[in-house]
Amino acid sequence: MAVDVHAIDGKLAAPDERFDVVVVGAGDAGTAAAIAAAGEGATVLLVDENPVLGELMGSDVPLFYGGRMTAAVQQPGRMLEQIFASNPALEAAMEAGVDVRLGTCAWGLYANGPAMRALPEPMLGIADAERATMIGFGRLVLATGARDLVLGFAGWDRPGVMGAQGFAALLTRYDAFAGRRVLIVGSGALALETARLALSRGIAMAGIVEVADAVQWSALGELGVPLFLGHAIVSVEVGIEGVNGATLATPGSPARIAVACDTVILAIGAIPATELLDAAGVRPGETIALVGDCASVSRPDSAILQAWCAALGRHAPPETIVCQCEAVTRADLIGVQPPRYLDRPERMAERSLSTLLADGPAHPDQIKRLTRAGMGPCQGRRCREQVACLLAEKQGIPLDRVPIASFRTPVRPVPLGILADWHESAAMTAGWDVWFGIPTQWTPYAIIGTPEEAEQVSGLGGNMHV
């Protein structure tokens, strides 16, 4: 039987470490799951990316912090103390024998499936500030919470516009929120929770904005906070420290309302943070379980989301940013053009979403490749829903019919120097030159100009050099 010497079967290195149970996310749900597993006699690893480095918070990873952090986030020691202060159960987990690793992100999940059958066992890639490690596991528990849902309007990309999840993290986890007077967008359960949190911390409330004519949660009316019903944000005013006010409008009316605030909090909804599963192409089951918010939080109702997008879009000028990382505007996305920092040949300039739709329905992944919307450090966390809503609007279809944009590993920004330090077996190293080629097409570099080259060509048909 012929054996392909360049196949990866049996050559992938075993994981660096192995645990019976690995828990990702050291919030209340994740910590409780880790303690319970340790109590059953399992070896347990609990990892959490918090405290997040200040520079990642500045890039709005993993949440939409919106530049409203105090200088305290630049003090690693103080941030670590805050993590333990906000979750005393972490000490109980350590006493129970759980291996707790903070400041450690889970950047990749690998499991055998239709496209991969060469892994020695399921593995999770984790990384701290110094190294990346592959962890084998018997069972994986994801307690990764929920991420912010971001919708754009003129000025949303300036400091002072943030997500409700980021706001809650800065207040309850880090005690590092820099705002003083907030305006909340949305009137559902998340908005109510956000408003109550702000009031409990003595933060002034400028009001709650809702595009519909009634609030989704009636309890909001009992808070004594101004309600701007039937309104949408037109823009924010910006000063030296970012947002210092917002302008509201009602559909079909030229009238404008100016609201004094230094922070706009997007609380229309949240999205379960299941990027690890999405990138790996696996679903929860016997080996992988979801707990906490990533299991219980539901995506906002599509009709509500489309209503918000339509209302905000009525006032958004073409130069409104959609993808902040890559500076892709509404005009760029609708025109299916690359970012301004890239060349736009005449032939490319003739392209638009209309010409693209002539060939069939548009997919967010296709738009990402053509415009780079979603390719930045936040990996689409701030523009994913905006792109989907624009595609639904321009195609005249319900949002539910627009596919979800995919994630790719690594799902967190990890320096290449850290990933490159991963151990690779000699068997893998020997075949590096054709891992991304086809054996019948490529001649390995090491045999070019040797007698083996003729054998390669005659046996496998290789006729190109790498």
User: What single-letter amino acid sits at 29?
Assistant: A
Q: Tens digit of pLDDT for each residue in 141-152?
A: 999 999 999 999
State pLDDT tens for residues 36-78.
999 999 999 999 999 998 888 999 999 999 999 999 999 999 9
Task: Give me the pLDDT at residue 432, please.
Answer: 62
* pLDDT band at 398; cut points 50, 70, 90: very high
pLDDT digits (tens, 9 = 90+) for 8-41: 777 788 899 999 999 999 999 999 999 999 999 9
Q: Kindly tell me if the per-residue pLDDT of 3 is higher than 90.
A: no
pLDDT at 176: 96
Please report how the helices 302-315 and 384-395 are oriented relative to each other, as an axis angle in degrees rounded to 10: 80
Contact criterion met (CB below 8 Å) for 317 and 154:
yes
Q: What is the pLDDT of residue 60?
A: 92
pLDDT reported for residue 169: 97
Q: How many CA atoms within 13 Å lie on the side-chain side of 461?
A: 5
Average pLDDT over all residues of the chain: 90
Higher pLDDT, 116 or 225: 225
pLDDT, residue 455, reads 74
Flag whether pLDDT at 298 surpasses 50: yes
Which position has the higher pLDDT, 356 or 264?
264
The model's pLDDT over 310-354, given as tens digits with 9 standing for 90+, comes to 999 999 999 999 999 999 999 999 999 988 888 888 888 888 888
Comparing CA positions, the residue from 260, 271, 268, 85 lying closest to residue 172 is 85
**Cβ count within 10 A of residue 118:** 11
pLDDT band at 466; cut points 50, 70, 90: very low
Answer whether residue 431 shows pLDDT above 90: no
Q: Is the pLDDT of residue 2 over 60?
A: no
The pTM for the full model equals 0.90
Residue 260 has pLDDT above 60, yes or no: yes
Residues of the chain with pLDDT > 70, as a percent, come to 93
